[in-house]
Structure 1
Amino acid sequence: MTKQTEQFMAGVVVSPRVQQHEIDEDRAGQRLDNYLLSQLKGVPKTLIYRIIRKGEVRVNKGRSKADYRLKGGDIVRIPPVRVSEKTTPKAGKWMIDSVESSIIYEDERLIIVNKPSGLAVHGGSGINLGLIEALREARPQQKFLELVHRLDRDTSGCLMIAKKRSALRDLHEQIRNNQVNKTYWAFVEGRWPTRTRQVNAPLRKNTLQSGERVVRVDPEGKASLTRFRVIERFRDSTLVEATPVTGRTHQIRVHALHAGHSIVGDDKYTSKEVNQYYKGRGIRRLFLHAAALEINLPGSGKRQQFKAALPDDLEEGLTALRNE
C-alpha cells in the first residue's frame, strides 16, 4: 500500500502536495488566512492558523502572519494538508436550496441574499458550515466568493457576497465612507417613545465567566449611534425601523435594550419572561430583520436600493398580534 493510499484511507487529502500560488491583482489586499480558507475548502480554521503559526505556509519563501495583506506577485507556499473525514462537512441539499432560493439580486460582481434566520453566515465557533460555505459548494466553478459584511446567526435579511475581489474592495470602501445605508426592522417590548429618535451610546465587548461574549454600553467603549423610527404600535410593543450609523457588534440589540425596549426573541439581551410571552403569540425567534440595503453598485456606480421581504414567521406573528 502506498503512502498516498494510506493518507486517503486515514482521511481526506485536501492538498496532497506542496503548492505554489502566485497572487494576482484580483486577490491583492486579501488577508493570508482568508486566502487559505478559500483555497483549502473544508479545512478547519484551527488547522489553517496552526500551519501558518508553525511556518509551514510561506510567503515569498519567508514566514508570515495570518493578518498579512497579500500583494500582487506574492508567491504563497501551501503545504500538504489532510483532514479527517468528519471535519469536512457538506452542505445538505436543503441548505443549498435555501440559500439559492433566497437570492434577491445577482450580477457578475455581487450577490445579495435574504439570509434565513438560524443560518450562520460562515462556519466556526462550533458551527460546521454556514451560508458562504453552502454557496461555495453550490458553485464550485466560482473562484471568488467572499462575505462583504456579516449578520448575526438569528438575524434575517439583506446580506452581500462579492464575486470579485475588486467588488469586495469597492464595497468595503463604501462602508468606511458611510455610503452603505442599512435599514432594519425590530419588534421591541413596550411602547417606544416617538421622541427617542436615536441612541448614541458607546459599546464595548465583554466576556463573561462562562465564556459567553456580550456587548455592553460602556463610557470606554467605541462610539456607536443608531437612529430609530416608529413603524407601528401594538398594545404593549412596537415595530421600529433601526438605522445603524456605526457598525458595532450587536449594536441595534444593545441600543434598543439601553433605550428600555429590548428586542423580542433575543435570548441574550431580553428577559425569558418577555420572550416566553411572545412565543405564545407566534414570535419564536429574534425579531430583527435587515429589511433594506442601499449601495453604489460595483462596476457601474449606480445608486440602488434592495429590499428583503419580512419572513413569513415574523409577518404571521405581527398579524396575530393585530388580531388580539
Structure 2
Amino acid sequence: MKKKELLPQSILKKLKSAYEHVPEREKVESSESEFDSGLKEFLEAYGSDLSLEVGETLFFQGDAADGLYWIASGVLAILQGDLENPRLLTFRSSEHVVGEIALLENVKRTATVAAITEAKLKYLSQEKFQGLLALIPGFGVELMRLLSRRLREVKPAEYSDGMYDHLTSAMSRQAFDVRLREEIDRAQIYRYPFSLVFLDIDHFKEVNDTYGHARGDEVLIEFARRVMADLRTTDMLFRYGGDEFVLLLQGIDEERGPVFVQRLLDESLSTPISGEPPITLSFSAGISYFPQDGESAEELLEAADKRVYTSKAKGRGRVTGMAD
C-alpha cells in the first residue's frame, strides 16, 4: 500500500479558491456517452473502491501507470510541475474519469492528481479494462475520442521549458506557434470551425508606471486566471507578449465568438482585481475565424490583428468580431 501524501496547505487553499471561481456551467458534465455509461456499469461490477481525504494525492506526474479511476463523488485537481508551485490544468468531479491516458502502453502519468474535497473512486486495472473492450461494441471508438481530447491537454512535448509562461501559467508564444498550426491541420481534416482572439489589456503601461511592476505582475496573473477559469477544456489561452494574450476557441464560429469574448470583457469590467489599489481592467479584442478569414496561420493572425486595432481606434474596451 502506497504511503499517503498530502498537498501543501497553501497550495490546497489556492486550488479550492480556484474551483470556487469555476463557472457552474463548466462543472456540469455533458450528456452521457457510450463510453461513460459502459465504463460506469463495468466499474460498478468489477472496480475496486478507493477513498481520498482532502489534499491527498492519487498519483504523481511521472509515476508508472497501471489503470484508470472513475470519480464517484468529490473533486480532483489535475496538476503539472513542482507541487510547491504547480500549474493547474483542470478539475475533474463526479462521473469523470482520470488516469485514462494510462491505457496507452508504456506511457507514464502525465499529471499529478489530488483531491480538493473528500472523494470516492472506483479503480480499474489495465487487465480488467481489456475485458471491457471485448464486452461493449463501439467502446473502443469512444475511448480513442476521449484519449485524443486528454492528450491535447497534457501533451508530453509541452513539459519542456518554454511551452508555458512562468508568470501567468498561460501557454507561451512558442506554444502558440505550434498549437495554431496543429489546430489548423485538425480543422482542415475534420472541417470544424475555430476562432483566434487577440486580447490586449487596455492602459496596462499606466498600471506599471503608477503602481509598480510587482502590482502589474499581480494584475497579469489574476487576469489570466480569470480568463482560464471561464474556458472549456478544449480552449487555450496563450501569453503572446507583455500585456497581449491570444485565445484559440475550438468549434466557435463568427456567431458565437463575439458573444463569448464580450462576456469575458463584461466580467472583467464588473469585478475589480483585488489588492492595493483594486484595479478594474478592460481589454480590446479582435477575432478571426477559420475558415472564413483564411486557412493559414498568417491569414488568421493578420485578420485578428487588424480587428484588435479597430477596437483600439474606436476607444478600447470593446470586441471587434468582423471586418467593417
How would you bin the TM-score normalised by the shorter chain? under 0.3
**Which is higher, the Rg of structure 1 or of structure 2?**
1
TM-score, length-scaled by structure 2: 0.25
TM-score (ref. length: structure 1)? 0.25
Choose between structure 1 and 2: higher strand proportion: 1
